[in-house]
């Protein structure tokens, strides 16, 4: 009985930014738990490559998450032609590093669109259908930078702080309709987004000393949290930010 709470058979999950990295790992994990998967990205070729890695047939839904009208049109059409999206994982994101006093304005705006506007755009589009059904799961991918800052990524930190607060706002507005809206906040994981840091021996040495677990995270270690927040095991969990970070946010 207890294990059945985590069974996602019969559920469909849309994972944005899922052609690589954390998004693809979460899509594979949700598929292994029984969910039908919808991969999203802007590059149809990369999505096709990702789909081939999922081990079972998946749907692909290419659209630009930073375009509000495109996100709504794509989700409305998918719901009408294929079926309901029960789980949304808002994973699409980007990074741009540089001193705050010299940070390019266009890069700042691009971070806002990709990391926070996308969560609003896709979240609202999916929630309209979930509200009508009075059930649904929304999981936003936040970051250790939702709580902490470090040099050269102040705008990224601002966007991930906003993801955390938008998650709380989603829960506050939509829990009454039967939705659970939560966030996963990864620590430092070995992903394409972090390639420059992974390849920097000095940073890796610092990270290993700074993190109680003493290492980089593996993307597969985010899957359990995602399954939990996607499943019946979390029906009274709302507005929560679940840090999966090897303990870095709780130690000095």
Task: Specify the residue for token string 């919808």.
Answer: 38
- Would you state the pLDDT for residue 193? 79
> Exactly one of 156, 177, 188, 243 is catalytic; which is it?
156
Confidence band for 3, pLDDT divided at 50, 70 and 90: confident
- Helix/strand/coil for 241: strand
Contact at 8 Å (CB) between 116 and 166? Answer: yes
CATH number of the domain bearing residue 161: 3.40.50.720
% of the chain surpassing 70 pLDDT:
100
Kindly write down the DSSP assignment for every residue of 138-184, as one continuous string.
Answer: EEEE--GGGT---TT-HHHHHHHHHHHHHHHHHHHHHGGGTEEEEEE
Task: Give pTM, 2 decimals.
Answer: 0.97
Instruction: Supply the range of the domain harboring residue 210.
Output: 3-250
Tell me the pLDDT tens digit for each residue of 106-144. 999 999 999 999 999 999 999 999 999 999 999 999 999
**Residue 218 DSSP one-character state:** P
The pLDDT of residue 1 is above 70: no
- In whole angstroms, how large is the CA radius of gyration of the chain? 17
Count of structural domains within the chain: 1
Question: Integer distance in angstroms from the first to the last C-alpha of the chain?
Answer: 40
CB of 142 closer than 8 Å to CB of 164? yes
156 classed as catalytic:
yes
Torsion angles phi and psi, residue 41, rounded to 5: -175, 180
Interval 11-64: pLDDT, tens: 999 999 999 999 999 999 999 999 999 999 999 999 999 999 998 899 999 999
């Amino acid at each position: 009985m207890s294990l059945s709470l985590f069974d996602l058979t019969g559920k469909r999950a849309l994972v944005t930014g899922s052609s690589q990295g954390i998004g693809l790992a979460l899509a594979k994990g949700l598929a292994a738990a029984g969910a039908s998967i919808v991969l999203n990205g802007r590059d149809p070729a990369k999505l096709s490559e990702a789909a081939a890695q999922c081990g079972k047939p998946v749907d692909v839904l290419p659209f630009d998450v930073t375009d509000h009208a495109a996100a709504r049109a794509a989700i409305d059409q998918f719901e009408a032609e294929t079926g309901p999206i029960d789980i949304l994982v808002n994973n699409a994101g980007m990074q741009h590093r540089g001193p705050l006093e010299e940070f390019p304005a266009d890069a700042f705006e691009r971070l806002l669109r990709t990391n926070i506007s996308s969560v609003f755009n896709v979240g609202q589009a999916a929630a309209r259908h979930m509200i009508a059904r009075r059930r649904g799961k929304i999981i936003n991918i936040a970051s250790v930078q939702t709580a902490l800052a470090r040099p050269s990524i102040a705008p990224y930190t601002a966007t991930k702080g906003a993801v955390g607060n938008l998650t709380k706002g989603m829960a506050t507005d939509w829990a009454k309709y039967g939705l659970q809206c939560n966030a996963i906040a990864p620590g430092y994981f070995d992903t394409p987004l972090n390639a420059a840091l992974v390849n920097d021996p000095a940073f890796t040495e610092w990270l290993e000393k700074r993190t109680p677990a003493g290492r980089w995270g593996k993307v597969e270690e985010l899957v359990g949290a995602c399954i939990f927040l996607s499943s019946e095991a979390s029906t009274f969990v709302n507005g929560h930010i679940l840090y999966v970070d090897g303990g870095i946010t709780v130690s000095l």
